[in-house]
Amino acid sequence: MKQVELTGFVVGRKSLKDADKIITVFSKEQGKTSFIAKGIKKPTAKLQSHMEPLVESQFQVLGTSKLPTVVGARSIGQNLFSAKSLEVNISALFLTEVVALVTAEQLPNPGLYRSYRQSLIDIATNNKTSLLLNYGLIGIMQASGIAPNIQWQEGACSCYLNFSEGSLSNSKVGATSSVIDIDVAKLWKVCMAHPKSTVLRLNAADLVLSKSLNIIIDYLQYNLERKIKSAKVMSESTNFLHGIA
C-alpha cells in the first residue's frame, strides 16, 4: 500500500464505531481530505494528542481507498490556544469551520492554506481579536474566490451588498441585497487592499466590527448554501463581549 505524508490542520472529526473516528484535514498537499483514525477514542491511543484542531501537524496516511487510514501523526506547531480567552478560542474555531466549508475536496489551495495558518497565529498572538477575525475571514474569502467586489459611490451614507452577485451598489437591487454601513464597506476595502500592518492601525469601533462579522456570516451562508454551525455562538459571543444588544 502507498503511504503519503500530509501537513495540515484537523478541521473536522466524526465518531465511527466504538473506538474509531473519521478525521478531516485541510492539508497543503491535497486540500481537504478525510481518513480513518482507528482506535483513536481509546484512552491509550498515542495519536489523540496530535489530532487536535488549531495545531499544524504532519500525518502519515496509508491506503488508496476513499477513506485511507492514518498510521502516524505528530504536531509540528505549538498549541497557541491552550491558555487563551473564550473569545480567542471561539474565533479560531469559527475560522476553522469556515475553512472546512470553503475548501474543495482533494484540491490544494496554497493561498488559502497560508491565509488560514497565518490567521490562527494572528488571532492567538494579538489582542485585536475581532479586527483580525474580520481580516482573516476576508482573506479566506479572497483565497477561495468568493469575496465581494467592494466598489461604491463616494459620499453615500450606506450601500447594499448583493449576495448573489457579490457586488456593492448605492441602491437595493433584487431580493438578495442587504444594507451595509459605509464604515463596514470601508473596513472591507482596507482589508482587501492593504497588508495586515496597515489594518492593525485602524481604530475600528466594536459596533462596526460586529456588524461586519454578522454580514460576513450571512454572505458566506448564502454563497455556500450551508449553515455555519458556530455562527450563532460566534455572533452572540461577540455581541455580548462588546455590549451590543
Query: Which tens digits make up the pLDDT trace of 145-183?
Result: 999 998 866 766 778 999 999 988 888 877 888 899 989
**What domains can you pick out in the chain, each with its CATH number?**
3-75 (2.40.50.140), 86-241 (1.20.1440.120)
- Residue 8 has a pLDDT of 96
- Residue 57 has a pLDDT of 95
- Residue 46 has a pLDDT of 80
Number of CB atoms found within 10 A of residue 164's CB: 12
- Residue 245 has a pLDDT of 31
Q: Pick out the chain residues at pLDDT < 70.
A: 1, 152-153, 155-156, 235-245
Q: What is the pTM of this model?
A: 0.90
- Residue 153 has a pLDDT of 66
Longest pairwise C-alpha distance within the chain: 64
- Residue 42 has a pLDDT of 85
